[in-house]
Structure 1
């Protein structure tokens, strides 16, 4: 009986153990399936975000075609307006010089014989004087006619620009509407991405905040790089610790954070040791008005300055990760993109930024907008400043920028 009781007492315990084992296996399978589902959703969201980012690049390329037409028209208006100002100044200077003689010239045109007889000089000298005055009058007429021609040319160009402007405005409005819709879709897709990238974005924002307190751009970049290395080291330690504890999922997550911190994500990043040869896209439609090494108030220029059409869209010259996107010292709104390989692109002079620290960007993806300005105005035009830095040191960006043609 005792043996029988012991046997019957063991059976419920074994059954409970079996049930617990089955429950643990089922729970483990459900967790694994849930992780796979989450990974699949994250992959789909990332793929959709990439697809929309490529579509945004295409929309920006179309917009830049319209901006190129705007830039050409604005340049024509600027040139004609300057020509008009020059002509008006010449006529004004001539008028001031001839002001004392105008009463005599007017009297000569009305009463030539009486004026000639009234001159207290021998007839031959008086005649020469009158001829000189008549020559001056003809010169004034020539200057006035030249001004009329210049003014007519300016008016004709302004009329042509007014006829062209609605078409350009319509195209730009359509492109802006498309870009805004894409921005909303990209934002929705980014919100669904993995927590590892969200943590990386938060770390990037904190690094950017610390960098904004630095006294110089070089110090800011050094601060950002130091924070990136610290994040990479921490993620590596977390991965090693999780692997020792056999926490595979946690280790994989930490390895992903380490990879994100170690290099910028996105397509088209610069490889370490790469040469120039046009690897970067021009950031804006326009012309370079100050080249590398040209003299400025602060010494030789360490970047390029562009004049762009009014309200032009600025694109990222490379694929990579935004590490700074906010006001900084005298630069105003400043954008820094980590292009990989130790290279950073620095852009300044924005009216508006459309990206934030931690965000991945493609080469050619819109990142901000230039200020508006009035073509033909004598006011100072806004400029986009572009720097390329390798390991924190400025290098000439010109060889890296591909031809916009």
Structure 2
């Protein structure tokens, strides 16, 4: 028998000769495979050599799969980075578009003011010009024949002399205002053209972002499939939770339950692996065939991908560094009393229709969907007991279990509202289920909302 090390035969326990290749095909599934063994077959040196060679090939295949998994993770990180950059550009364009529209409104108001002033001046000037025209049609000698005193005639002459410069000044003012009106008209047309161009850029970038989103989503289909059961449990939690604090408590309990189940599953798998390894080593040491009527061929599966949230940056060190989830005007802040008597426990940001919404910080999606009183709600677990809540979205583009990085697209605001008023995004931070003031956590650099 050729020399066979325990490491080479680790995880392998076989019987049978020509039946071995069929059994080894199941190794690709990364789990223990049980095959019927012919008691008449003996395990000889040639069989063990074949097993060694096949195990070597399978180890190489496992390494290749692990490299591909690492490459896929790197591509996913690259896609996330591209999506963050593109979402930031979209938000910049949205902010620029809002500024252009405000400037256009100001230009229109200025234009209307000039038109009103022109109308008033025109009425005054027309009256003076009509009077002057009537006087001009009369010969000068007829003025002397008017039944007026010489002093009245002098006064009329003085008034006419004073009226001429006034008419000229009015004419000059009208000319100036007409010129300003022309410039305003040109500026308004330019603003409208720029608004159209910016709108086209936003639409184009949204298309590019949707392409990246689909690309990334295609790479996390396994995660989506695994999250179906989780999403069903989330639906059950939504129905059972009485309020937001209760929902977050239930989400934390669900997270702990999943962690215990995963730890139990891994412990059981490790126990099975260890039993198979010891059996293979014992078989190698004795050189005897297995005493059971079955043969076990095992290759440990590639290690599972790390939990995306486990590699996230600590949230406690992110004070003053959170990304604003959307561009817009803050219409209600932490602690503000509303007309309804309600006290705001977060931020309310009036945005553009279909505005881009992004994640505030690294984390993992633990809830995505409608929740009583919140509309479409997204909850991201940032670790250390911190959660961010984004409510009022028109569409959520992420799913439960998905990992997000700061600034990564998470959804968009509604395309319309019942009252035609701007849509409002509600932002809330919670620590251990309790709301905290988000303002000190948000970045003061470009991208923060204006109040």
Aligned to 2:237: 211
Structure 1 pair 220–250 and aligned structure 2 pair: CA distance change class (3 A): farther
Alignment of 1:349-364 (within 5 A): 349-364=392-407
Q: Give 1:37's aligned residue.
A: 64
CA 162–366 in structure 1, closer or farther in 2 if over 3 Å, else same: same
Which residue, out of 214, 217, 224, partners 1:184?
214
- Give the equivalent residue in structure 1 for 2:429: 388
Deviations 1:229-283 (A, max 9, x none): 0010111112222223335999987x848x63xx72565x434xx2553131000
Q: Report the secondary structure of 1:323's partner residue.
A: strand
Tell me which of 177, 180, 205 is aligned to 1:175: 205
1:343 matched to 2:377? The reply is no
| Structure 1 residue aligned with 2:314 | 270
- Label 1:37 to 1:275 Cα distance change in 2 as closer, same or farther (>3 A): closer
Per-residue Cα deviation, 1:373-397 (whole angstroms, up to 9, x for no partner): 59xx984321000001111111111
Contiguous gaps of at least 5 residues in structure 1: 1-12, 85-151
- Return the index of the structure with the highest Cα Rg: 2
Question: Aligned partners of 2:214, 2:250: CA distance in 1, in Å?
Answer: 32
Residue 89 (structure 2) aligns with = 62
State the Cα distance separating 1:336 from its structure 2 match: 0.7
Q: Is the 8 A contact 1:333 1:349 kept in 2?
A: yes
TM-score by length of 2: 0.62
State the shift of 1:343 in Å: 0.9
What is the alpha-carbon distance in structure 2 between the residues aligned to residue 343 and residue 211 of structure 1? Answer: 19
Instruction: Determine if contact 1:280/1:402 at 8 Å carries over to the other structure.
Output: yes
Equivalent residue for 1:87?
A: none
- CA–CA distance in 1 between the matches of 2:217 and 2:208? 14
Question: Of residues 221, 232, 250 in structure 2, which corresponds to 1:223?
Answer: 250
Question: 1:229 & 1:21 partners in 2: Cα distance?
Answer: 45
- Give 2:362's aligned residue: 319
Structure 2 counterpart of 1:236, from 260, 263, 270:
263
Q: Which has the higher helix share?
A: 1
Q: Secondary structure at the match of 2:44?
A: helix
Which one has more relative contact order, counting CA pairs under 8 Å at least 6 apart? 2
Question: Aligned pair count?
Answer: 315
Partner of 1:403: 444
Cα pair 2:58 2:299 within 8 Å, conserved: no
Counterparts of 1:283-322 in structure 2, within 5 Å, are: 283-296=325-338, 297=340, 299-322=342-365
* Counterpart Cα distance in 1 of 2:351 and 2:357: 9
Instruction: Render the CA deviation track for 1:303-341: whole Å, top value 9, x for unaligned.
Output: 100012232101111111111111111211111111122
Deviations 1:47-91 (A, max 9, x none): 11111111111111111111111222344567789999xxxxxxx
Contact 1:322/1:337 (CA < 8 Å) preserved in 2? yes
Task: Spell out, residue by residue over 1:217-236, the C-alpha distance to the aligned partner (whole angstroms, 9 max, x if none).
Answer: 22221221111100101111
- CA gap of 1:36–1:198, structure 2 versus 1, over 3 A, is farther
TM-score (norm 1): 0.68
Distance 1:27 1:176, change over 3 A: same
**For the residues of structure 2 that align with 1:299 and 1:159, how far apart are their CA atoms?**
44
Call closer, same or farther: CA 1:173–1:381 in 2, change over 3 Å. Answer: closer
Distance 1:295 1:222, change over 3 A: same
Please give the alpha-carbon distance, in whole angstroms, between the structure 2 residues aligned to 1:251 and 1:300: 56
Q: Which moved more, 1:27-36 or 1:348-357?
A: 27-36
1:90-131 Cα deviation digits (max 9, x unpaired): xxxxxxxxxxxxxxxxxxxxxxxxxxxxxxxxxxxxxxxxxx
Unaligned runs of 5+ in 2: 1-39, 112-180, 278-297, 447-451
| Aligned-residue RMSD, C-alpha | 3.5
How far apart are the structure 1 equivalents of 2:243 and 2:109?
Answer: 38
